Amino acid sequence: MQPLQENAFRTVVVCSAFPQAMLFPSKLFEKEYTALDLVYEGPSQDYFHDSIPEWQMTTAYSLPQAVSQSLREAFPSAYYFHSYTPAIKVYNGFVADQQLLVHFTEQTFRVVLKKEAAIQLAQTYVYQTPLDVVYYLLNICYEFNLSQQEVYLILSGPVDKDSSLYTSLQQYFTNLHFAQPPEIALPQSPYPHYYFTSLYNLAACVL
């Protein structure tokens, strides 16, 4: 944290990717976080929420208290988001009725399900092998009555067409797409744009 504090940042934005998060209809959310404590057991937490007026939803989430306090001490004026919020707020360019937005990191992947013009799921999963990912996605299809031939899997993060993960997904799903390029201009990178979709979405929310 110390090297970051040495920079004179005009604005600091913190985006949590901790899995402790839930979506609520905005009209029912009253800054009450008991549900988070019931679903996610863990050490002492600090609580936050993001408003998503485009979908009339609120993302309620928590950070470990030690992490939160360190951030507040280092950046007292920082803005906070949960990673689900930009993924939901920013239009992804696809109009399919059934969409699974799947963002990969090294050991986890986040899923946002859009179906029938509604957000029906936002969840983070841990995986070790490509078949773990396939298992979770097939289970989502079963639980939410999604067609493997019709649902759009919109992939982002470090996954490529020649990877075993992509090949495994191809065996079970027909419509695989990489996230579309952002509409905002950011520095060039040797890596594909969809590696950084979560960053682009966050930037679109704050610029």
pLDDT at 207: 76
| Spatial separation of the C-alpha atoms in residues 57 and 24, rounded to whole Å | 6
pLDDT at 5: 58
Q: What would the DSSP string read from start to end of 66-80? A: HHHHHHHHH-TT-EE
Equal CATH topology for 2-82 and 92-186: yes
pLDDT at 7: 66
pLDDT at 182: 81
Q: Cα–Cα distances in Å, from 52 out to 128, 150, 188?
A: 32, 27, 30
pLDDT at 9: 81
**DSSP SS3 for 89:** helix
Strand order across the 57-64 sheet: 21-25, 57-64, 45-52
pLDDT at 181: 86
Residue 166 CB neighbour total at 10 angstroms: 15
Using the 8-state DSSP alphabet, how is residue 30 labeled?
-
Closest CA to 21 of 1, 6, 39, 44: 39
According to the CATH classification, is domain 92-186 in 3.40.50.2300?
Answer: no
Residue 56 CB neighbour total at 10 angstroms: 11
Q: Is the dihedral of CA 163, 165, 168, 174 positive or negative?
A: negative
According to the CATH classification, is domain 2-82 in 3.30.420.250?
Answer: yes
Q: Where are the domains of the chain?
A: 2-82, 92-186
**DSSP SS3 for 58:** strand
| Spatial separation of the C-alpha atoms in residues 79 and 101, rounded to whole Å | 24
| Spatial separation of the C-alpha atoms in residues 48 and 135, rounded to whole Å | 31
- Token representation of residue 206: 């704050």
| Spatial separation of the C-alpha atoms in residues 57 and 53, rounded to whole Å | 6
pLDDT at 188: 82
Would you write out the chain's pLDDT as a tens digit for each of its 207 residues? 555 555 678 899 999 999 999 999 999 998 889 999 889 877 789 999 999 999 999 999 999 999 999 999 999 999 999 999 999 999 999 989 999 999 999 999 999 999 999 999 999 999 999 999 999 999 999 999 999 999 999 999 999 999 999 999 999 999 999 999 887 777 788 999 999 999 999 998 887
